[in-house]
Amino acid sequence: MSKPQVLVTMKHISEIAINLLRERFDVKICDSMLATRAEILKEIPGKFAIYCSPLTKIDEELIKTAGPSLKVVATFSVGYDHVDLTALKKYGIRFGNTPDVLTETVAETAVGLLISTTRRFSEATHALKTGGWKNVTPDWMCGRGIRNSVVGILGCGNIGTSIAKKLKTFEISQLLYTSRTEKPAVKALGGKLVNVDELVEQSDFIIISIALTEDTKFIINKERIAKMKSHAVLVNIGRGGLIDQDALIEALQENRIGGAGLDVMTPEPLPLDSPLIKMNNVVLLPHIGSATIETRREMAIIVAKNIIAVLDNSAMPYEVLL
Ligand code: DGY
């Protein structure tokens, strides 16, 4: 009897994960490094599962093209704004993601981005590599320190809480956070629960660590950017759609805020003609928040196990209940 089929939309997935899948499935790995929409629509008919990247849009068209064989979608990410959950529910398809294993890694990325943005690491590296390190003066490449500053974390889930713990050791003067409910772990660190407007107005450093949903889209909009301190540094490790990027670009161009460190942006990959690319007060990373060898291996295995669980009609390691 032939095995059920899985479509994998990315190359270079850990062999351990692919082998786990191969024990139970026929595995089709798309030909492109990251499959195009056309490739996915061509390959998806008859598949039992789709093993997808956060750049793979999962919508009703794709589900219908797959047909009734499709039983599970498993994403190689914690975030799932690329997935139409209503459509999955309508067709009775189960859905899994990869939280927890990436919490510390993404929090490390946030702290790294914060330091490299406020201390101007990219700009300084560029100056060094292009002959700008000459007669330096004491104010050359100076930024603001994190010690004694007010740090605001927008969205204090697991990743936000981990960022808070890490930054506490920097001897900050105040920790602010937003959340639907008070977080005992963050309160224990001295964190103060505030609303979004208070957070943007009072923070020297703002870190966005919130999921992108209909409610949080453009949570950092033109009005809120206007309320930020003139030296405020904004870090985003959530999703590009959380920020009105045009308004951010305008504020950065006019030096109305101190800078931005972005691991996520709109669109991804960012076109080379984006004004963000040329800005000195911006540090950009190509969405590598969870990119450590260990974390990516663990994520790959969880995605495979999420799919296998559906074949076995058992509990997924990480299921998003629809
Ligand atoms: C995810 O997995 O959703 C995050 O973007 C990691 O950076």
- Annotation marks residue 287 as catalytic: yes
pLDDT the model gives residue 137:
95
106 Cα–ligand 1 center, Å: 7
Q: What average pLDDT does the segment 66-90 reach?
A: 98
Q: Which atom of ligand 1 is nearest to the CA of 239?
A: 5
pLDDT the model gives residue 291:
98
Burial of 55 (0-12, 13-18, 19+ CB in 10 A): middle
264 Cα–ligand 1 center, Å: 9
2 Cα–ligand 1 center, Å: 34
Which residue has its alpha carbon closest to ligand 1 atom 2?
77
Q: Residue 243: which of 271, 278, 209 has the closest Cα?
A: 209
Q: Residue 113: which of 167, 66, 59, 53 has the closest Cα?
A: 167
pLDDT the model gives residue 204:
98
pLDDT the model gives residue 135:
86
User: Taking the mean position of all CA atoms in its chain, how far away is CA 1?
Assistant: 41
Q: Which atom of ligand 1 is nearest to the CA of 237?
A: 7
pLDDT the model gives residue 34:
85
Distance of alpha carbon 230 from alpha carbon 228, whole angstroms:
6
Pocket test of ligand 1: the residue of 78, 213, 268, 298 to mutate, having most ligand atoms within 8 Å of its CB, is 78
Question: How much of the chain, in percent, has pLDDT values that exceed 70?
Answer: 100
pLDDT the model gives residue 1:
76
Residues contacting ligand 1 via CB (< 6 Å): 54, 77-79, 102, 106, 289-290
Q: What average pLDDT does the segment 12-40 reach?
A: 94
State the sign of the Cα–Cα–Cα–Cα dihedral 251, 253, 254, 260. Answer: positive
Complex-level ipTM beyond the 0.90 threshold? yes
Which residue in this structure is represented by tokens 């498993």? 74
What's 4's DSSP letter? Answer: P
- Tokens at residue 166, please? 């890490």
Torsions phi, psi for 247 (to 5 deg): -65, -35
- Answer whether residue 32 shows pLDDT above 90: no
Distance of alpha carbon 134 from alpha carbon 122, whole angstroms:
17
The tens digit of pLDDT for each residue in 123-141 reads 999 999 999 999 899 999 9
The tens digit of pLDDT for each residue in 269-310 reads 999 999 999 999 999 999 999 999 999 999 999 999 999 999
pLDDT the model gives residue 33:
85
Pocket test of ligand 1: the residue of 290, 296, 303 to mutate, having most ligand atoms within 8 Å of its CB, is 290
Q: Is 261 helix (H, G, I), strand (E, B) or coil?
A: strand
The residue length of the chain stands at 322
pLDDT band at 97 (very low <50, low <70, confident <90, very high): very high
pLDDT the model gives residue 165:
97
Distance of alpha carbon 4 from alpha carbon 27, whole angstroms:
9
Q: How many other CB atoms sit within 10 Å of the CB of residue 160?
A: 28
Judge contact between 75 and 304, C-beta under 8 A: no
pLDDT band at 94 (very low <50, low <70, confident <90, very high): very high
Q: Which atom of ligand 1 is nearest to the CA of 289?
A: 7
Q: What average pLDDT does the segment 81-88 reach?
A: 98
Which residue out of 12, 126, 231, 287 is catalytically annotated? 287
Q: Residue 103: which of 301, 295, 319, 235 has the closest Cα?
A: 295
Q: How many other CB atoms sit within 10 Å of the CB of residue 17?
A: 24
Averaged pLDDT score across all residues of the chain: 97
Report whether the peptide linkage leading into residue 4 is cis, meaning its omega lies within 30 degrees of zero. Answer: no
